[in-house]
Amino acid sequence: PGEYKAEDVNGDDRYVQFDDKQFIGYRQPRYALGWRNDFTLYKQFDVNMFIRADLGHIGAREDFNHPNSNTYDRANTYAIPYWTEENRSTKYPRLNVNYRIYEGDINLYERRSFVRLQDLSIGYRLPSALLTRAKVSQMRVFVSARNLLTVTSWSGWDPESGNDPMPRIFSLGVNASF
Residue 140 pairs in a beta bridge with 125, 175
Band of the pLDDT at 103, cuts 50, 70, 90? Answer: very low
pLDDT more than 70, % of the chain: 76
In tens, the pLDDT along 121-139 reads 999 999 988 888 888 889 9
C-alpha closest to that of 50 among 149, 131, 134: 149
Residue 105 lies in a domain: yes
Residue 80 lies in a domain: yes
Residue 2 lies in a domain: no
Q: What is the SS3 string spanning the chain?
A: CCCCCCCCCCCCCCCCCCCCCCCCCCCCCCEEEEEEEEEECCCCEEEEEEEEEEECCEEECHHHCCHHHHCCCHHHCCCCCCCCCCCCCCCCCCCCCCCCCCCCCCCCEEECCEEEEEEEEEEEECCHHHHCCCCCCEEEEEEEEEEEEEEECCCCCECCCECCCCCCEEEEEEEEEC
Residue 123 lies in a domain: yes
C-alpha closest to that of 176 among 121, 119, 126: 126
Residue 11 lies in a domain: no
90 versus 105: the higher-pLDDT residue is 90
Residue 93 lies in a domain: yes
Range of the domain at 137: 31-177
Mean pLDDT over residues 136-144, rounded? 94
Give how many domains the chain has, as a whole number: 1
Residue 118 lies in a domain: yes
Residue 4 lies in a domain: no
